[in-house]
Amino acid sequence: MGVGRFCVQRRRRTGTIAAVSALGLTAVLGGCGLTGGSDQVTLKLVAADYGDSAANTSQKYWEKLVKEYEEQHPDVKIDVTVYSWNDVDAKVKEMVDAGQAPDLAQIGAYADYAAKDLLYEADELLSIPVQADFVSQLADAGQVNGVQYGIPFASSTRLLFYNKTLFQKAGLTPPKTWKELAADAEALKAEGVKYPYALPLGAEEAQAETMQWLLSGGGGYTDAETGTYSIDSAENVATFNWLKNNLVGKGLTGPVAPGELNRADAFSAFAAGDVGMLNGHPSLMQMAAKKGVKFGMVPMPGAEGPSKVSMGVADWMMAFKKNGHAEQVGEFLDFVYDKENVLEFSREYDLLPVTNSASTVMTAAKQDADLKPFLEELPLSELYPVGKTSWAAVSADVKQRIGKAVSSGGSPSGILSQLQSTATRAESAE
């Protein structure tokens, strides 16, 4: 057991390291950061930008939080670099490949790094109260082979958004079943709505729209009991056959082919008043409200009734072992996950908190009423199989292929079989 591991475990059990100098152990435990103020530690953090402008960039959030932390911990400096979501995962990979891994990275996936034994385990870093506060399914999704490496940082769920103005004009009520969704889409098309149902299966985020539909059809990317990939299951094939025959084939998904429609463009079209229905996450509320679009939100319809399982998404914090500093990293993370800090971040970016304490506050607070429907879906949600190192390859293949499953002449069963083959090969390579 290394010195860093010893220090962290001792801190977790006791909540603090006693004044060991009185016992004559100062020299022995110098590696635990007890040698005084002369040895300032700098922690490098690379994080993703959740803002949509210079005014609300995540850099501002981190700078405020770091300033407060450094005032309380003069022996620790936090060096934060924020990149856009288009770049952040690649930037971290470049740093790791160059042998210059940051101490902390807040990005989209952790499993590849965990598989290479590059990350600290969560219980090597976090105090017991902080670990116990995470929403359980998010903490579980951060595990590889039963060990948590991915620390959830932000989360969201998806609901079906609908344009209230367009629905009222067509005399419609929000759908609860696929049959009702298709009937509503037909009526919206008759009213001249450009996108009765926007189906973004383009390369940007096709894996999300796909998963939402698979879950609503009683399937998913993996088998609920075994955890193995089941992309070409009978339930999933039936779901995509329905999509192709009842929505896409009847011209109810708009002028852009689903395989060429990206999520961002679908959201923009909804905010412009051109979409009757689409799956959305909390940030769409703000986009639509800014444009004056009146909208409602309901659980995703299912084959026979409202979907029993929602799709959840989480982004991750992880700590690399290369530079050591486990104790300082752990103490900083305990501060990051303080209830007030989690609340401030979640409210700033319309995201769901990853801790139970913050979720309890937001569920009851009037100022967070808009997020309550999403919070209610979180306990019912299922996340991507992010604990599998194979997921990155599977997700990339879904983005490239799934649009063809609903195209004219496309074969849902054929495309899903190809995706299953990719998943099987990727699993075998783990």
Q: pLDDT tens across 107-131, in order?
A: 988 999 999 999 999 999 999 999 9
Q: Are 318 and 122 in contact (CB under 8 A)?
A: no
Residue 168, φ and ψ in degrees, nearest 5? -65, -40
Q: How far apart are CA 230 and CA 40, in angstroms?
A: 51
Q: Is 356 exposed, middle or buried (0-12, 13-18, 19+ CB in 10 A)?
A: middle
pLDDT given at position 430: 67
Q: Are 212 and 300 in contact (CB under 8 A)?
A: yes
pLDDT given at position 2: 37
Helical packing angle, 58-72 and 326-336, nearest 10°: 120
- CB burial of 147-159 (b: ≥16 within 10 Å; e: otherwise) equals ebbbbbbbbbbbb
Taking the alpha carbons at both ends of the chain, their separation in whole angstroms is 27
- Residue 426 token pair: 């990727």
| Residue bearing tokens 């008043």 | 273
| DSSP 8-state code for residue 192 | T
Q: Is 86 exposed, middle or buried (0-12, 13-18, 19+ CB in 10 A)?
A: exposed
Q: How far apart are CA 199 and CA 192, in angstroms?
A: 17
Q: Any bridge partners for residue 144, and if so which?
A: 147
Which residue type is seen at 12? R
CA 107 to the chain's CA centroid? 9
3-state class (DSSP) for residue 26? coil
Q: How far apart are CA 360 and CA 430, in angstroms?
A: 38
pLDDT one digit per residue (tens) for the chain, 430 residues: 333 333 334 344 334 333 333 333 333 333 444 434 457 899 999 999 998 788 889 999 999 999 999 999 999 999 999 999 888 999 999 999 999 999 999 998 899 999 999 999 999 999 999 999 999 989 999 999 899 999 999 999 999 999 999 999 999 999 999 999 999 999 999 999 999 999 999 988 899 999 999 999 999 999 988 889 999 999 999 999 999 999 999 999 999 999 999 999 999 999 999 999 999 999 899 899 999 999 999 999 999 999 888 899 999 999 999 999 999 999 999 999 999 999 999 999 989 999 999 999 999 999 999 999 999 888 888 999 999 989 989 998 999 999 999 999 899 999 999 999 999 999 888 6
Task: For CA atoms 362, 365, 367, 370, give the dihedral sign.
Answer: positive
Q: How far apart are CA 261 and CA 245, in angstroms?
A: 18
Give the side-chain half-sphere CA count within 13 A for 252. Answer: 22
User: What's the alpha-carbon Rg for the chain, to the nearest Å?
Assistant: 23
Helix (H) or strand (E) holding 78: strand 76-83
Q: List the Cα angle 376/377/378 in 5-degree steps.
A: 95
Global pTM reads 0.82
